[in-house]
Structure 1
Amino acid sequence: MRSKSSTIRTGRATTVLAALLAGGLALSACSGGGKDDGGAKGGKDGGGSAPAGNTVALPRLDGAQLEISAVWTGQEQANFKKVLAEFERRTGAKVTFVPAQDPIINFLGSKIAGGQPPDVALLPQPGAIKQAVDKGWAKPVGPQAQKELAKNYSQGWQDIGKVGGKQYGIYYKAANKSLVWYNAKVFENAGAKEPATWKDLLTTAQAVYDSGVTPFSVPGADGWPLTDWFENVYLSQAGPEKYDQLAQHKIKWTDPSVKQALQTLAQIWGKKDYLAGGQKGALQTEFPNSVTQTFTGGDQPKAAMVYEGDFAQVNIGETKAKVGTDAKVFPFPAVGSAAPVVSGGDAAVVLKDSKAAQALMTFLASPDAATIQAKLGGYLSPNKNVPISAYPNSVQQKIAKALIAAGDDFRFDMSDQAPQAFGGTPGKGEWKDLQDFLRNPGDVAGAQAALEKDAAAAYGSGS
């Protein structure tokens, strides 16, 4: 079972955040400007007040050498290296980024077995943090980093980095995983409207299809986006209480609520003509390409819409499309009574305790580090003292403001709360089971049986 710290609290912010996104994104979709809308004043309006620059004291670390690992690639990795360069400039330390492979726990295990673990790793699942602690790899966060964490993060974001009541992780990066990005020109040509409900989404998809463009780009080659699709449908349809129960495997995947969610997903996944390349093509499409193929080809792209989090902007940036004009966004539509809001993130964890490693953790917990990456785009921080104005366009400013406004009340990605063997391993567990379901969306019972078998095995072993 999950540790208590992996279970995230929720409440009215599930609907509040959705409302903020629905209103804010609609208002901002016509502009890609970077003007601050007042969110950086701090306090209850959802923005931070800390200025960009040196807000945290760091020691001189001349001669120190550090390694930090994450699964980040491409532009995301390049942007993070600019953050590390600032840490080097201010401390004199040398930091090397070591690319990791999924699942990162397995990658770290091989590095540790070889006697060469990185000093710090960024783990994408609370379950992975717990595993690192249980294996004796992770070291507690030091006092200076804890001080920054307490000053800059809501209690909810602090708690998901804890195991057994002790702080091990600092969530450097967050994600709003309840967004659908769309090609604005395609929608305009089709006379399609931004949907508020699942029924509206199906109507919009049909309008797009009738105009001659395939509605959806689904990255089935990567299992994790499929889990995100499921989580949004399930949270909205089954409700927060059931979501928490399924996340902790207190109810089985054979539960009728899971059947209903899979049947709902099949309304899109089961329509070959609604998916770029059909089910077969979707299963061969990796996430980056699922985004870029939605925003290349002008008003005749391979697909009109792609579901995923705010981080899709990094991939949109690889095309000629501009966020806010060519590429617009709407909140994941309400399947039940309220639109879903699912969050994710990556937490920094110390594996080799040292003055330099703890200084890097302190830096990553500060607004200084996050503000650098926020300005580069395609990134979202749970740090409440990052100025909203640091985000490069009004769409991203609204997403960031809404995340901070949620405070402690949000739902964390379900698969990231699960043991990694079930919720975080390519070709296994939930990832594979949902890929199999995408391949054959008519077999709801078979999908449920496979999900329950794999979940029972993983939760039973805790791996």
Structure 2
Amino acid sequence: MSRLKVTAALVAALGVVTACAAGTTTPGPDGKALSGQTVEVIGPWTGDEQLRFEQVLAAFKDKTGAEVRYTPAGDELPTVLQTRVQGGTPPNVALVAQPGLVEQLAKAGSVKVVSSEVEKAVTEHNAGVWKKLGTFDGQLYGVHFKSANKSTVWYSEKAFGAVGAEPPATWEDFLKVGRAVVDTGQAAVSVGGADGWTLTDWFENVYLRTAGPENYDKLARHEIPWTDPSVREALATLGELFGDSRLVEGGATGALQTEFPQSVINVFGDAPKAAMVFEADFVASVIRTSTKAKVGEDAKFFKFPAIGGSEDAVVAGGDMAVQLKDDQATTELMKFLASPESGRVWAKLGGFLSPNRSIPVDDYADDVTRELAKQLVDAGDNVRFDMSDLAPAAFGGTKGAGEWKALQDFLANPKDVDAAVQRLESEAAKAYQK
């Protein structure tokens, strides 16, 4: 999900802030080992998320005595981070949403291999897939601290009640419920097609369930082409929804003009136009801030439906902590972020999910978040990271280009699967060669 961008002036101002972590391990006057040392962290979080993360950092200070400065970079984080690295003023720690960027930084020698203690914590507290996501050339560089469950469909309890529907467990039942809703005069699903990233999430969930985790991994690495029959099958399945203008609010034209927040409001606002919206757990935040609906009562969710008897699986996003300086205070902060102790601080504040299975589910702030966290952890190694975030940004993360644009074109004409796969492969081939 796109985050609020900080202004260029703010980024420039923040860019001059540098960490000054001292090398001494002599306890300060308060008796804490890291007193007098300072660590700088760059992260994507602004607003309420920033305030909550700063409470996590305050807990680290209380424990160790180290000062922590937080630099919010919003959507500009990759650019800000790379500029700081190239300019010789890297932060101590950065929270990065793109494993591809972490791999790039690792190959350039800009991020450090984590300590054995951090690696032990990651192994102990997370499913193996999360360790694998932070491992490049056999060495672990990152700790996944905050995650998003991107395999959820949110629905209006009122709309489902009007047709006597239960949350569907299969794709067939999902379409069946949608058609029943259409008969009441509402659309089935609101699609935020103006934001191309939402369409990548749709595709990834369908592909994971039709092609399986092994093919998902291959496609993410471009080891199989986007013209592969497995891609065609996934797009044809997705076309069963996108190709029925009655099911999609506003049809393809309307969906392509709908941004993500509006797609949520279309379901839970004062004048609802659809019964369901697909997206990650952060839908709840939009519901709370932009509608009068109550999450867990008026607004509920179900797992992305199984397709062809597929096993439960979760497409996830998230932010990986990486270490750019090699000193005691930085290493101790990485250990803290890898521990359940840090995640428990934010979990109790709300708006947080973690792949850390050692965080008690009761620590999460509400029933909805507890269920989302449980699904993420229970999926174990059937979790797959957001494929577009694994891809080169030119293909998987550029507005109006690459995968985003190709899937928008597919939404406009879902019957032409051949044109879609050819466009996707052409764009992927160019991006992966760079």
Shorter-chain-normalised TM-score: which range?
Answer: 0.7 to 0.9
Structure 1 residues 1-400: aligned runs within 5 Å: 60-102=33-75, 104-297=77-270, 300-318=271-289, 319-339=291-311, 341-344=313-316, 345-400=318-373
1:459 aligns with 2:424: no
Distance 1:59 1:139 in 2: 25
Aligned in 2, Cα 1:137/1:445: closer, same or farther, shift over 3 Å? same
Cα-to-partner distance string for 1:122-143 (whole Å, 9 max, x where unaligned): 2223222211112222112134
State the shift of 1:165 in Å. 1.4
What letter corresponds to residue 351 of structure 1 in structure 2?
Answer: L
Partner of 1:421: 394
TM-score of the superposition, structure 1-length normalised?
A: 0.79
1:299-321 deviation digits (Å, cap 9, x = unpaired) = x4233211122332232332433
Deviation of 1:178 (Å):
1.5
Q: Is the 8 A contact 1:176 1:341 kept in 2?
A: no
CA distance in 1, matches of 2:259, 2:51: 20
Aligned partners of 1:337 and 1:282: how far apart in 2?
Answer: 29
Change (3 A) 1:267 1:236: same
Shift of 1:278: 3.6
1:344-377, CA deviations, whole angstroms, 9 ceiling, x for partnerless residues?
2221111233333222211111111111221233
Separation in 1, partners of 2:153, 2:399 = 24
Aligned residue in 1 for 2:21: none
Query: Which structure has the larger Rg over C-alpha atoms?
Result: 2
Give the drift of 1:168: 0.5
Q: Deviations over 1:93-147 (max 9, x none)?
A: 4433333354743342223234443322222232222111122221121344334
| CA distance 1:79–1:438, change in 2 (3 Å) | farther
Relative to structure 1, the CA distance from residue 202 to residue 409 in structure 2 (aligned partners, 3 Å threshold; closer, same or farther) is: closer
Report the alpha carbon displacement of residue 163 of structure 1 after superposing the two structures with TM.
Answer: 1.1
Give the TM-score normalised by structure 2.
0.84
Equivalent residue runs for 1:423-438 within 5 Å: 423-438=396-411
- Partner AA of 2:248 in structure 1: L
Once residues 312 and 388 of structure 2 are traced to their aligned partners in structure 1, the CA distance between those partners, rounded to angstroms, is 15
Aligned partners of 1:63 and 1:295: how far apart in 2? Answer: 50
Q: Residues 280 and 95 from structure 1, CA distance in 2 versus in 1: closer, same or farther, beyond 3 angstroms? A: farther
1:302 counterpart letter in structure 2: K
Deviates most, 205-214 or 335-344: 335-344
Q: What is the number of equivalent residue pairs in this alignment?
A: 402
Shift of residue 264, structure 1, vs aligned partner: 1.9
If asked which structure has higher relative contact order (CA below 8 Å, sep 6+), I would say 1
Q: Which structure 1 residue ranges, 5 or more long, are not aligned?
A: 1-57
Bigger Cα displacement from structure 2, 149-158 vs 94-103: 94-103
Q: Secondary structure at the match of 2:130?
A: helix
- Supply the RMSD in Å over aligned alpha carbons: 2.5
Shift of 1:447: 1.6
Q: Deviations over 1:14-51 (max 9, x none)?
A: xxxxxxxxxxxxxxxxxxxxxxxxxxxxxxxxxxxxxx
Task: Mark the CA change 1:213 to 1:246 in structure 2 (over 3 Å): closer, same or farther.
Answer: same
Runs of 5+ unmatched residues, structure 2: 1-30
Q: 1:276–1:177: structure 2 CA closer, same or farther, 3 Å change rule?
A: same
- CA–CA separation in structure 2 for the residues paired with 1:226 and 1:160: 23
CA change 1:99–1:434 in 2 (3 A) is farther
Q: Give the C-alpha shift of residue 169 in structure 1.
A: 0.3
